[in-house]
Amino acid sequence: MTLQDWCSSGWLLGHETSAEEIRGMLAVADRDLRDAASENLSDDWRFNIAYNAALQLAGAALAAAGFRVSRGGSHHHHTVHSLAHTIGADESTVRLLDRFRRKRNVAEYEAAGTVSEVEVAEMLGLADDLRDRVIGWLRSEHPRLLDA
């Protein structure tokens, strides 16, 4: 399926973004990456913050591609899976971020103390890598959105 197919299915809506919107989303991701690196927070919270950075980056790529996720359930799921269609993320990257999406739900809503230091490091590494990939993709495919 393509992103246009997702739009036809009601999962996405067309969206016209701006350099200002993309800069804002990247700024949120950068803030979250800095905050997630703080060892003064619990592993659960650091993981959640790093996950949010990755979600912002995926959302920025989706917006640059001309879409946004429609309101309702599965918002995070569709944002995560859109990375395969926007920046060309491989299946293992999408699968890992989707696993972390589910882990984040448990840590956020169901039980404290479920995230390990190793998982925090993995999530931070994934978010850092996504930042580099999304910015590289934006420079290549949508340079006007990075103009100051």
Is the Cβ–Cβ distance between 69 and 85 less than 8 Å? Answer: no
User: Which pLDDT score is estimated for 91?
Assistant: 95
User: Which pLDDT score is estimated for 31?
Assistant: 97
Fold adopted by 17-146: Four Helix Bundle (Hemerythrin (Met), subunit A) (1.20.120)
| 90-122 pLDDT per residue, tens | 999 999 999 998 887 766 666 677 888 999 999
Neighbours of 138 (CB within 10 A): 21
The structure's pTM equals 0.92
Residues of the chain predicted below pLDDT 70: 73, 106-111, 148
Q: Where are the domains positioned within the chain?
A: 17-146
Q: Name the residue type at position 96.
A: L
Query: Using N-to-C axis directions, what is the helix angle for 91-105 and 43-64, rounded to 10°?
Result: 130
The mean pLDDT value of the chain amounts to: 91
Which DSSP letter does residue 70 get?
P
Using the structure block, give the residue that is written with the tokens 């994934």.
Answer: 126
Rounded Cα distance, 8 and 16, in Å: 17
